Amino acid sequence: MLKKENKYIYNSTIRSVFNKIYKKYPDNIFLASESCSFNNISREYSFKDVKKHIKNNIFFFKKCELSTGDRIAVVVGNNPEYFILKLSLNYFGLSCIPINNELSAKEIYFIIKNADPKYIIFSLNNKKLIKNAITVKEKLTVGFISFNSNKLSLVKKNINRKKKIIKNFNSKLESSILYTSGTTGEPKGCILTNEYEINAGYSYAKKKGLISFKLGKERLFNCLPVHHVNSGVLSLFAMLMTANCQIQAERFSVKNFWKEINSSKATIFHYLGVMVPLLLKTKKSFYEKNTILRLGVGAGIEPDLHQSFEERFKVTMIELWGMTEMVRCIFDYKKNRKIGKRCFGKISYGLESKVVDTKGNEIINSEGLLLIRFNKKNPKTGFFTEYNKNKLATKKVWKNNWFNTGDIVKKDEKGYHYFVDRAKNIIRRSGENISSAEVEQSLLRLNYIRNCAVIQKKHDIYEEEVFAFIVTMKEVKENLSLGKRILKDLKTDLAYFKLPCYIKFIKTLPITSSQKTNRGKLKEKVLSYKKNEYLNLENYKRSLKNIFN
Q: What is the pLDDT of residue 515?
A: 57
Task: Tell me the per-residue pLDDT of 458-479, one tens digit each, with 9 for 90 and over.
Answer: 999 999 999 999 999 988 999 9
Q: Letter for the amino acid at 48?
A: K
For residues 423-442, b (16+ Cβ closer than 10 Å) or e, as one string? bbbbbbbbbbbbbbbbbbbb
Task: Tell me the per-residue pLDDT of 525-537, one tens digit each, with 9 for 90 and over.
Answer: 999 999 999 999 9
Q: What percent of the chain has pLDDT over 90?
A: 79
Distances (CA, A) of 286 to 283, 291, 385: 10, 9, 47
What residues pair up with 74 in beta bridges, in sequence order?
Answer: 98, 121
Q: Indicate the length of the chain as a whole number.
A: 549
| Interval 291-313 mean pLDDT | 94
Domain boundaries, the chain: 14-408, 426-545
Task: Tell me the per-residue pLDDT of 147-163, one tens digit each, with 9 for 90 and over.
Answer: 999 999 999 999 876 66
**For residue 105, which phi and psi values (nearest 5 degrees)?**
-60, -40
Q: What is the pLDDT of residue 182?
A: 45
Query: For residue 324, how many C-alpha atoms fall within 13 Å in the half-sphere facing its CB?
Result: 22
What mean pLDDT value characterizes the chain? 92
The terminus-to-terminus CA distance of the chain in angstroms comes to 44
SS3 state of residue 252? coil
Is 183 a residue whose pLDDT tops 50? Answer: no
DSSP assignment, residue 362?
A: B
Segment among 34-43, 325-334, 444-453 with least mean pLDDT: 34-43
**Whole-prediction pTM value?**
0.85
Is 547 a residue whose pLDDT tops 70? Answer: no
- Separation CA 134–CA 51 (nearest Å): 32
Quickly state the pLDDT bin for 549 (edges 50, 70, 90). very low
Task: Tell me the per-residue pLDDT of 418-451, one tens digit each, with 9 for 90 and over.
Answer: 998 777 778 889 888 788 888 988 898 898 998 9
- Separation CA 492–CA 282 (nearest Å): 35
Task: Tell me the per-residue pLDDT of 61-112, one tens digit each, with 9 for 90 and over.
Answer: 999 999 999 999 999 999 999 999 999 999 999 999 999 998 889 999 999 9
CATH tag, 14-408: 3.40.50.12780
SS3 state of residue 218? coil
Between helix 480-490 and helix 436-444 the angle, nearest 10°, is 110
**For residue 37, which phi and psi values (nearest 5 degrees)?**
-130, 175
| Interval 164-191 mean pLDDT | 83
Contact 385, 192 (CB under 8 A): yes
- Burial of residue 210, with CB atoms counted within 10 A of its CB: 0-12 exposed, 13-18 middle, 19 or more buried: middle
Segment among 127-131, 138-142, 266-270, 515-519 with least mean pLDDT: 515-519
Contact 465, 502 (CB under 8 A): yes
Which residues fall within 8 angstroms of residue 117, CB to CB, at 6 or more apart? Answer: 70, 71, 72, 73, 97, 142
Q: Class assignment of domain 426-545?
A: alpha beta
